[in-house]
Amino acid sequence: MNNSQDFPLNISKLLPAIQINDSSNGTDESDVVWGSTANRGFIFCLYGVFSIVGIVGNLIVTVVLLRVPTLRSNTSDLLVHLSLVDLLVCILVIPFKIIPTTGTSAPNPGFLGELRCRVYVSQFIFWVSSLTSVLCLVTVNVERFVAIVYPLKYKVVFTRRKKYLMIASCWILGGISKSFQVLLYSEDDVVGCHFLGWPSRAVQAFVGLYTFTIQLLAPFVLMITAQWKVILALRRQVKKLTERSASSAFNPLDQRKMWQLRASQTLIKTLLTFVITFAVCWAPNQVVFLGYNLGLDVDFASPVYHVGNILAVCNSCVNPIIYTMTNQPFRKGIREAFCRKSRRWVTPSV
C-alpha cells in the first residue's frame, strides 16, 4: 500500500476519529473516517516481531553471500542488494509503523520542517524502499531468465557496469513512482505536518490504478511469465542431456552441465517461491488501497486493513527464511560462513 494509505494508522494513534473535507473538487468526503486502531498493542507487537526477524534474516543472507566464495555470482550480487533493501524496510518499520510520525513535534513551517514533513513523516522513504524491494526481485528473476533462456546474450546484457545500472534504476524508478506522496503532505503553522487530501477524484483513482499496476500486477505477471519460460527451458535441456547420457556421446562436460542445470533448477524453485510469496503478501494491501482510491468504503480500523499492512511488511522478512529452506547450497554456506572462524581455534588432536 502507498504512503498515503498509512496516514490513518498514524493519525489514529492521536485522535479517536477525524473527518476530511475535500474542497478541491467541491465534494464532501465526510464519509471517510479514520477510526482508532483496534488491538493496537497486538498489532504493534506483530510489526516489531516481523521487523526483528527481517533484520536478523537479511543480515545473515548478506553476510553469507558475501563471505562464501562458492556462492558469489551476478545472481548473488543482486540477492545481496535485495537483502539490503529488505533490511532497510524492516529497520524503517520501527519509526514508521510502531512510533508515531505525525503530530509528534511542534509546527515548524520553515524549509527543514517542510522537508521533514514531505519526505519523512509522509513515509516516502519507507514506501520507496518497499517498491525498490519489489523491483529488485523482478531484476533477479529477469537475470535468471536471460541466463537460462538466452545464454549467449547473457554476458552482453549483464556486464558489471550494466548490473549496477540496473540496481540504481530500481531506486530511481521507486523514487519517481512514489514522488506524488511528497505533494500530499504539508507543514502548517498551526497543526504542523498534515495530510492535504487528494486534488481530485480522478487523480486519486489514477494513482490507485498506477500503484496497483507497478507494485503488484506488472511485477507478478512479468516474474511468473519469466519463471514459466525458464522452467520449460530447463526441462528441455535436462531431457536432452538425459537422452545423451544413455548413449556413448555423453562426456564429462555434459556431466558438468547436468550438475549446473540441477543447481539452476534449485535456484529457480527458490525464486518461484519468492514470487508466489510476494503475490500473497502484497495482494491484500494493494487490493484494499485500490478499492479505497476507486471510491469504495474502507474501514481503516478493521483487521483486514492492518493484516494487509502487516503482510506487506512480512514480505521483506520471509525471503531469508525461504532462501534457507529451499536452497541447500545456501544452508551449507551458512555453516561455512559462521563456523569457519570457530574451527580455526580447535586444537588438532595428537
| pLDDT top residue among 148 and 214 | 214
Q: Looking at residue 73, what is its pLDDT?
A: 85
Q: Tell me if 348 is assigned to some domain.
A: no
Percent of the chain with pLDDT over 70: 77
Q: What's the domain range around 306?
A: 3-338
Look at strands 192-195 and 185-188 and give their pairing.
Answer: antiparallel
Q: Is residue 345 part of a domain?
A: no
pLDDT in tens, 273-304: 888 999 999 998 899 889 989 988 887 767 67
Residue 344 within any structural domain of the chain: no
For 95-122, what is the mean pLDDT? 78
Span 239-275, pLDDT tens digits:
777 766 666 555 666 566 666 666 677 777 888 888 8
Query: Is residue 119 in a domain?
Result: yes
29 inside domain: yes
pLDDT at 132 > cutoff 70? yes
| 18 — pLDDT class (breaks 50, 70, 90) | very low
Check whether 51 has a pLDDT greater than 60: yes
262 within a domain of the structure (yes/no): yes
Task: Say if 39 falls within a structural domain.
Answer: yes
Domain count, the chain: 1
Mean pLDDT confidence for 69-76: 86
Q: What is the CATH number of the domain that holds 294?
A: 1.20.1070.10
Does residue 68 lie in a domain region?
yes
Can you give the pLDDT at residue 333? 85
Q: What is the C-alpha to C-alpha distance for residues 343 and 27, in angstroms, rounded to an integer?
A: 70
4 vs 80: which has the higher pLDDT:
80
Mean pLDDT of the chain: 78
